[in-house]
């Protein structure tokens, strides 16, 4: 437990902090209330999970996964079937949520540290709109306990320590509850492809802790202001470690096999024995199914805990006046195309679930239960919240309110969404664009291209770049990419053509250098 060994806090300090972690949700009610507060604005319940694939919800058509509570949100709201994360790894995705901006404009085009400060950020914007804002679970920004406009947070950082002496609220609580136990006793790494049943009591699992704190928040909330509550689960991101009853919910035989495209042989090789944190390699169908069993169990565990949060909301009589959203920061390849983890343009990595349920007072009851196919992205979360709050949506945001699509205002919606990721595991840094029907990918290091017809080939099994029948389609999408990247200058587009880029660029010139 290195995070404790490196800390210089005294036992008295530790116990005080541990006590705070278990009681902070109650203590927030002791803050002075706003004299002008009102409940006329809807509450906002902001649910998210880490590394949750877009095809792993029952309401999305998966016949194996068990997600009845997420499905209930969809039945009482809408499913966005073409929802994406523009930069499919944790921190740049969270910058998009935080700012309402595209990757180039918020500055993170790869996996790095979320900027210390943006002039306009989601928690502060909702606070300024009259909301009490509270965050629970994984934040994954820097510094790790920075509030960014939240009135308070209780964080689970998955063992991550980025400043000397940092201990997350979850680990403080764990040490208080089970001082003799190791929270990492299950023995799977944070980027491991393997799965294993959680070896500790279920009540100690971080998924349960996150939901428990959310339930406490709703049960004890007595302020006059509407709340914006972020509940951010650190799973199903590896380790794939659900409690036994959720592992037993599935068997390996029923797990879907990984899909492998006619272009994926380049990713089949791997070290022997395989490294636990590998990013590519054909480990066989059997191993992929074992991994998926643990992943599916983790998904269903999250779903049950979300059900507890929804039940508590209903008991308080607030369900009808709450905007509820669920989405993920990115997906997980789980062996598809011999790839693991994330950072890829492919559907397993870049497509995410996006469920939205709005209050009864907004009307639009005829839209409930529908699936909407316009391309949406994480940048759309902030303007959606502002729309629900009746606040002004600044013109500088790249995102749009998804409530406009629910209202049927589709005419001016974006024709496609941009995706990208800087070099991470290899030299394959790429840019992509998709309208949910076709997807074009450009690999800037060597100039490779891929084109997929997602309507006919949703698993991206056939790369159409070399097919003569799709020559004009390829030219059309390539030109769209040229136009999209043209604002970035000669390094990206030279002489009207996509340029090769041999060097890694992690941050764009728009990445903020100020911290406050």
140 is catalytic: yes
To the nearest 10 degrees (0 to 180), the angle between helices 206-220 and 285-315 is: 10
Question: Catalytic: which of 56, 90, 106, 429?
Answer: 90
Residue whose pair of structure tokens reads 């998955």 in the numeric block: 158
List, edge to edge, every strand of the sheet that includes 370-372: 152-155, 132-137, 227-236, 43-50, 322-328, 354-357, 78-80, 370-372
Q: Which residue's structure tokens are 């770049």?
A: 465
Helices (H), 360-470: 381-389, 403-406
Distance of alpha carbon 308 from the chain centroid: 21
The dihedral region occupied by 513, where left means phi > 0, alpha psi between -120 and 50, and beta the remainder, is alpha
Contact, 207 vs 305, CB < 8 A?
Answer: yes
CA dist list (Å): 396 to 120, 386, 414, 443 = 10, 14, 16, 29
Give me 7's structure tokens.
């800390």
Residue labelled with tokens 């709201």: 77
- Give the CA distances from residue 385 to residues 42, 227, 318, 360, 376, in Å, rounded to whole numbers and listed in that order: 10, 12, 17, 16, 14
Instruction: Examine the residue annotation and report whether 28 is marked as an active-site residue of this protein.
Output: no
How is residue 197 written in tokens?
A: 């049943």
CA dihedral sign, ordered 68, 70, 71, 75:
positive
Using DSSP, state whether 440 is helix, strand or coil: strand
Q: Say which of 28, 105, 106, 140 is annotated catalytic.
A: 140
Q: Supply 292's token pair.
A: 């998926």
Rounded CA separation 326/357 (Å)? 9
**Residue 247 main-chain phi, psi, to 5 deg:** -65, -40
Q: Which residue has the tokens 């195309």?
A: 337
DSSP state, residue 42:
P
**CB count, 10 Å around CB of 15?**
14
Q: How far apart are CA 69 and CA 72, in angstroms?
A: 5
If residue 433 lies in a helix (H) or strand (E), which one and from where to where? Answer: strand 430-434
Whats the size of the chain, residue-wise? 516
Catalytic residue set: 90, 140
């Amino acid at each position: 437990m290195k995070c404790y060994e490196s800390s210089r806090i005294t036992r008295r300090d530790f116990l005080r902090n541990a006590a705070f972690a278990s009681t902070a949700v109650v203590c927030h009610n002791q803050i002075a209330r706003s004299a002008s507060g009102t409940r006329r604005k809807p509450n906002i319940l902001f649910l998210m999970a880490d590394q949750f694939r877009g095809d792993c919800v029952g309401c999305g058509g998966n016949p194996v996964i068990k997600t009845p509570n997420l499905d209930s949100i969809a039945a009482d709201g809408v499913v966005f079937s073409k929802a994406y994360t523009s930069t499919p790894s944790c921190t740049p995705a969270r910058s998009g949520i935080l700012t309402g901006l595209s990757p180039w404009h918020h500055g993170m085009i790869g996996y790095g540290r979320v900027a210390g400060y943006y002039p306009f950020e989601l928690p502060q914007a909702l606070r300024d709109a009259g909301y009490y804002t509270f965050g629970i679970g994984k934040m994954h920004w820097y510094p790790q306990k920075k509030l960014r406009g939240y009135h308070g947070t209780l964080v689970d950082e998955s063992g991550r320590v980025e400043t000397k002496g940092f201990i997350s609220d979850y680990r403080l609580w764990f040490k208080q509850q089970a001082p003799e136990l190791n929270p990492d006793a299950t023995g799977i790494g944070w980027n491991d492809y393997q799965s294993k049943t959680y070896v500790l009591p279920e009540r100690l699992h971080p998924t349960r802790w996150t939901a428990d704190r959310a339930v406490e928040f709703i049960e004890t909330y007595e302020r006059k202001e509407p709340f914006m509550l972020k509940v951010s689960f650190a799973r199903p991101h590896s380790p794939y470690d659900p409690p036994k009853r959720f592992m037993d919910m599935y068997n390996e035989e029923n797990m879907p096999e990984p899909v492998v495209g006619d272009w994926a042989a380049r990713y089949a090789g791997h070290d022997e024995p395989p490294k636990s944190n590998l990013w590519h390699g054909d480990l066989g169908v059997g191993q992929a199914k074992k991994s998926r069993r643990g992943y599916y169990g983790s998904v269903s565990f999250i779903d049950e805990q979300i059900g507890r949060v929804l039940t508590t909301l209903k008991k308080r009589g607030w369900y009808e006046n709450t905007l509820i959203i669920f989405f993920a920061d990115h997906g997980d390849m789980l062996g598809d195309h011999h790839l693991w983890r994330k950072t890829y343009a492919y559907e397993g990595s870049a497509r995410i679930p996006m469920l939205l349920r709005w209050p009864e007072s907004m009307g639009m009851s005829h839209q409930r239960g529908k699936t909407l196919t316009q391309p949406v992205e994480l940048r759309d979360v902030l303007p959606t919240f502002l729309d629900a709050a009746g606040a002004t949506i600044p013109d500088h945001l790249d995102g749009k309110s998804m409530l406009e699509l629910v209202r049927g205002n589709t005419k001016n919606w974006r024709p496609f969404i941009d995706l990208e990721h800087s070099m991470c595991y290899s030299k394959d840094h790429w840019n992509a664009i998709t309208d949910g029907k076709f997807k074009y990918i450009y690999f800037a290091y060597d100039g490779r291209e891929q084109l997929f017809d997602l309507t006919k080939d949703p698993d991206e099994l056939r790369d159409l770049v070399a097919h003569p029948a799709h020559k004009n389609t390829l030219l059309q999408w390539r030109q769209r990419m040229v136009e999209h990247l043209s604002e970035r200058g000669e390094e990206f587009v030279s002489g009207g053509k996509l340029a090769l880029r041999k060097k890694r660029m992690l941050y764009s010139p728009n990445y903020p250098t100020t911290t406050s």
